[in-house]
Amino acid sequence: MIRLAVDGVEMSVPDGASVLAAVRAAGGELPSLCHDDRMSPAGSCRTCLVRADGRIVASCVTPATSGVRVEAAAEELRALRRGALEVIAAGLPRRALAGTDSELSRACADLGVGPDAARSTGGRGADTSHPYVHLDRDLCIACGRCVRMCSEVQGTFALTLTGRGADTVVAPGTGGPWVDSDCVACGGCVDTCPTGALTEPGPARGLTSATPLPIPGGPATGVTRTTCGYCGVGCSLDVVTADGEVTAVLPDLGGPVNRGHACVKGRFAHRYLRSTERLTQPLLRHGDRLVPVGWDEALRHVADGLRAAVAEHGPESVAVISSARATNEENYLIQKFCRVAIGTNSVDNCSRLCHSPSALGLTASFGMAGGTDGFDDVQRADCFLVVGANPVEAHPVVGARLLNRALRGARLVVVDPRAVGLARHADVHLRPHPGTNVALCHGLAHVMLAEDLTDETFLRDRATGLPELTALLDDYPPARVADLTGVPESDIVAAARLYGRAQRPAILHGLGVTEHLHGTDGVRALANLAILRGAVGTGRGYGVNPLRGQNNVQGASDMGALPDLLPGYAKVTDPEARARAARVWGVPVPERPGLRIPEMFAAARAGRLRVLWVIGEDICATDPDTHQVVAAVRACPLVVCDELFPSETARHADVVLPATSWLEKDGTFVNFDRRVQRVRPAVPPPDGARSDFDIVHAVADLLGASLGCPTPAAALAECAALTPDFAGLSHERLDREGAVPWPCRGPDRPGETSLYRERFATPDGRAHLAAAPYLPPGEEPDDTYPLVLVTGRRWAHYNSGSMTRRGPNLTLAPVDFLDLHPDDAERFRIADGAPVSVTSRHGSARLVARVGRESAPGQVFAAFHFPAHGVNSLTSGNADTVTSCPEYKVTAVRVAPAGATAPGPPGRPDRRPGIGPGFTSGAPGPSGVLEVGAEGKGAERRS
Ligand code: FES
């Protein structure tokens, strides 16, 4: 700590603090128009002048030093600051100060600079091309905050200052209109702008995270702090509302993960809330039509169907797909409903389709199903090994923080077949053939062993399995691994040396590791590297950390929405675990593990599944080999679907129940680094929509099964009572403390951010090396299907796109592209921007070609944000041999020009990854009867 005096008052500030921070800590008000704590100081505007030991200094760029005497409040210093403001104001039009609420106008009002000080006549024009960022050039003071936000915090480098002297103004670095620039609409520039030059249009105009809120009577009468419901990063957001509508979503400056940052989804993609397509009335199937009915009739139909199925076919004839989109409390209630009200363990969630190999692999290697370390600790690493993940697009706030570290000197190894966003900043980019991760990891481990880049003490004292792994690795010298993976031998050696020689090496991985035929082996092969290096269980971070894709996919599994595991990952086959649950729930817990999601579909197609309840998942759009999924849904006599919109699954369901979204819910989510955070309703749901929590309770009541847990808070309390690792969690504590990581084993005990410091949670307390050989993927290209399709996410959309396609994100990314290499484009005569048909052994899809070098020759890439394009009809039924996680990342396909029958027109080209022209799914409006048509369930049934 540094001791100093501010206006005669002795005080202390942390090492590294600026004089500006010290003055503010002392309660002083200083304008700081070119400064934002989120980035480095510039010292250019001179509005923060103070006197330090007799010298006039810009406080933002002056470090606080021991014993310095700072004067800030004296009138002569206020006059200096007033003068600096008057110089700035003179270059602005009157509207910059009159009737505007901005950091500048508030500073001027505080120092007595009136609107008459603004003397410019303006005329520099505006750029309103972008749906979320409007530029009024006349209000730009060239402070550079937006430019530094874009480069230092977001890492996109999309903005620059152009012009000279008083004509200097922010502009996209690419020139041209903002909407065609490299901007990824994180909102950072809007949030930091002190004058209103950059604003979000509409009722959010001028609102930033620095705006004093709420504003009585204005467009910001309420503010609700909640946790983002898009990806698994867990950004803390302040939702600004007026008259029951969302005005703006602002990043929480104190957010534990996002630290005042956000992305195009969490910050801007909320217009879906009031979409005219929102479901507001239950729908019940009558033949090939879904007809609006009242809640009583719909719920009675569901309860009668469940009762009849159990009575006639037993509880195993019922299955529920719970939701990674839903809260922990809802997931807890849903799994309890299955086990208590129905008597089955057949409940699963979409972690089955993404990170089930991470959960199982990490448990086998270390003992627990979550990432090993908190992200703050991970970020202190001096070398990152990022494998099969594209955080710049799929987890933008984490991607920005990683990029930030890489730009400040941390070494970066990226393993991905594609040239993903982080790859261009990597020291080494390894591009293995899809499906060869295990071989590549073994190659890295081989080099680490051969070059003594291991921690022998750690291996001796804390690990097991080294002899078996050493023997296996004899078969994976770099030359052979280069043959298997296509990665040059020298790159394998270079990457192994970077990771092995780093002092604080961290591994982050994504679905490029898990969504494979041998995804669990891939996770374990990665864990081997951390164990060999002794870079896990340090108590200081690093480790192996999965980047979770959905907002609460960690929590859905934590809460026991799994067919073989109870809350807290207790095995249903463990009599003690069942007895513990039975004591809390008051009924015996079924002993036999239930069906996994793919097994549910198989059982439906075989006629064994009589009721399938799908909560918050669009399985007919996002699950692999969708023709088989649709066949399962058609074969199941009663399919119930909780949804926001008339999704593909809803169109095939028998009962559709209108549900609420994350901005309308009360509960908690668990993010990717195991932080449990509150979710609070910011706006009321539309009339007619109900939360999944209420819906499950209502059905249970009709079945005569009381679930207890009358409120979400009570549900988490019951889960805490049942589950030692969550024993310290409660809504009251989370409201008081903010984020709390699990394990948290008591109300008075802290959550554990960094796991395994003393011992691993395996039965023997050791980390377990795995000696699993490389096995090839389920599909290989051949003469008929010569290309390998990899699927994944784009920056502007989220999963099936049901939320992000219903708002201006659609303007930013109106179509799904097929990325292909120029060599393949020439080989198959496909032009950039042309419609293209893609065919696999399982189905076909139509996309728009984007020719570039992001994908390697022989590989193509597509997202699945537009179900109408049919990308998931291409993917196979192959799945991880251990967890049944689908092999989304390897599908053999062929491509051909689609001709005039392609589903949409090419549009505006775009330089950003993942942006392109296109078409929408054209989902029908939901307020009345939903016509299902010839392909729908009713038609199928009648035939
Ligand atoms: Fe210190 Fe601008 S805030 S010089």
Higher pLDDT, 907 or 638: 638
Tell how far the Cα of 107 is from the centroid of ligand 1, in angstroms.
13
> What's the confidence (pLDDT) of residue 378?
87
Q: Which of 38-52, 546-560, 600-614, 888-902 has the lowest mean pLDDT?
A: 888-902
> What's the confidence (pLDDT) of residue 919?
25
Tell how far the Cα of 5 is from the centroid of ligand 1, in angstroms.
21
Tell how far the Cα of 57 is from the centroid of ligand 1, in angstroms.
10
Tell how far the Cα of 251 is from the centroid of ligand 1, in angstroms.
23
Residue 314 CB contacts under 8 Å (≥ 6 apart), including other chains: none
Give me the mean pLDDT over the 873-880 stretch: 92
For residue 628 and ligand 1, the question of a CB distance below 6 A is answered with no
Q: For residue 59, give the ligand 1 atom closest to its CA.
A: 1
Q: How many CB atoms lie within 10 A of CB 307?
A: 15
For residue 487 and ligand 1, the question of a CB distance below 6 A is answered with no
Tell how far the Cα of 30 is from the centroid of ligand 1, in angstroms.
10
Residue from 30, 33, 104, 141 to probe ligand 1 pocket by mutation (most atoms less than 8 Å from CB): 33
For residue 18 and ligand 1, the question of a CB distance below 6 A is answered with no
Longest dimension (CA), the chain: 91
Q: For residue 32, give the ligand 1 atom closest to its CA.
A: 3
Give tens-digit pLDDT for 318-346: 999 999 999 999 999 999 999 999 999 99
For residue 23 and ligand 1, the question of a CB distance below 6 A is answered with no
For residue 57 and ligand 1, the question of a CB distance below 6 A is answered with no
Cα four-point dihedral sign 489, 494, 495, 497: positive
For residue 536 and ligand 1, the question of a CB distance below 6 A is answered with no
What single string gives the DSSP state of each residue in 58-123?
EGGGSB--TT-EEE-SSHHHHHHHHHHHHHHHHTS-GGGTSS--SHHHHHHHHHT--GGG------
For residue 804 and ligand 1, the question of a CB distance below 6 A is answered with no
Would you say residue 906 has pLDDT above 50? no
Give me the mean pLDDT over the 666-694 stretch: 97
Under a CB-based contact definition with an 8 Å cutoff, are residues 671 and 548 in contact?
A: yes
Give tens-digit pLDDT for 783-830: 999 999 999 999 999 988 999 999 999 999 998 999 999 999 999 999
Tell how far the Cα of 86 is from the centroid of ligand 1, in angstroms.
14
- What are the phi and psi torsion angles at 215 (to 5°)? -110, 105
Under a CB-based contact definition with an 8 Å cutoff, are residues 202 and 131 in contact?
A: no
Q: For residue 143, give the ligand 1 atom closest to its CA.
A: 2
> What's the confidence (pLDDT) of residue 379?
87
Under a CB-based contact definition with an 8 Å cutoff, are residues 722 and 730 in contact?
A: no
Would you say residue 529 has pLDDT above 70? yes
Q: For residue 35, give the ligand 1 atom closest to its CA.
A: 3
Query: From CA 332, how far away is CA 734, in angstroms rounded?
Result: 18
Give me the mean pLDDT over the 287-291 stretch: 94
- What are the phi and psi torsion angles at 641 (to 5°)? -140, 120
474-495 burial, b at 16+ Cβ within 10 Å, e below that, comes to eebbbebbbebbbbebebbbbb
Residue from 30, 48, 148 to probe ligand 1 pocket by mutation (most atoms less than 8 Å from CB): 48
Q: How many CB atoms lie within 10 A of CB 238?
A: 19
Would you say residue 895 has pLDDT above 80? yes
Would you say residue 921 has pLDDT above 80? no
Tell how far the Cα of 49 is from the centroid of ligand 1, in angstroms.
8
> What's the confidence (pLDDT) of residue 931?
53
Share of the chain above pLDDT 90, in %: 89
For residue 62 and ligand 1, the question of a CB distance below 6 A is answered with no
Give tens-digit pLDDT for 83-129: 999 999 999 999 999 878 999 999 999 999 999 999 999 999 999 99
Task: Please give the order of strands across the beta sheet that includes 289-292.
Answer: 347-348, 318-321, 611-615, 638-643, 655-658, 283-286, 289-292, 930-931
Burial class (CB in 10 A: 0-12, 13-18, 19+), 841: middle
Query: From CA 532, how far away is CA 414, in angstroms rounded?
Result: 19
For residue 145 and ligand 1, the question of a CB distance below 6 A is answered with no
Burial class (CB in 10 A: 0-12, 13-18, 19+), 55: exposed
Share of the chain above pLDDT 70, in %: 95
> What's the confidence (pLDDT) of residue 166?
83
Q: How many CB atoms lie within 10 A of CB 790?
A: 23
Q: Whose CA is nearest to atom 3 of ligand 1?
A: 32
For residue 58 and ligand 1, the question of a CB distance below 6 A is answered with yes
For residue 45 and ligand 1, the question of a CB distance below 6 A is answered with yes
Under a CB-based contact definition with an 8 Å cutoff, are residues 510 and 390 in contact?
A: yes
> What's the confidence (pLDDT) of residue 930?
60
CA neighbours closer than 13 Å in the CB half-sphere of residue 248: 28
For residue 43 and ligand 1, the question of a CB distance below 6 A is answered with yes
Give me the mean pLDDT over the 904-922 stretch: 33
Q: Which of 337-341, 399-403, 538-542, 849-853 has the lowest mean pLDDT?
A: 538-542
Residue 301 CB contacts under 8 Å (≥ 6 apart), including other chains: 284, 654, 655
Q: Whose CA is nearest to atom 4 of ligand 1?
A: 43
Under a CB-based contact definition with an 8 Å cutoff, are residues 345 and 564 in contact?
A: yes
- Kindly state the tokens that stand for 280: 């507001």
> What's the confidence (pLDDT) of residue 100?
83
Residue from 40, 46, 56, 192 to probe ligand 1 pocket by mutation (most atoms less than 8 Å from CB): 46
Q: For residue 43, give the ligand 1 atom closest to its CA.
A: 4
For the chain, what is the mean pLDDT?
93
> What's the confidence (pLDDT) of residue 929?
60
Under a CB-based contact definition with an 8 Å cutoff, are residues 109 and 125 in contact?
A: no
> What's the confidence (pLDDT) of residue 540?
85
Give me the mean pLDDT over the 599-615 stretch: 97
For residue 47 and ligand 1, the question of a CB distance below 6 A is answered with yes
Give tens-digit pLDDT for 431-466: 999 999 999 999 999 999 999 999 999 999 999 999
Is the pTM for the entire model greater than 0.85?
yes
Residue from 44, 57, 70, 192 to probe ligand 1 pocket by mutation (most atoms less than 8 Å from CB): 44
Q: For residue 30, give the ligand 1 atom closest to its CA.
A: 3
Tell how far the Cα of 236 is from the centroid of ligand 1, in angstroms.
28
Would you say residue 924 has pLDDT above 80? no
- Kindly state the tokens that stand for 777: 């993927």
Q: For residue 46, give the ligand 1 atom closest to its CA.
A: 4
Q: For residue 31, give the ligand 1 atom closest to its CA.
A: 3
Residue from 19, 60, 77, 103 to probe ligand 1 pocket by mutation (most atoms less than 8 Å from CB): 60
Distance of CA 13 to the CA centre of its chain: 35
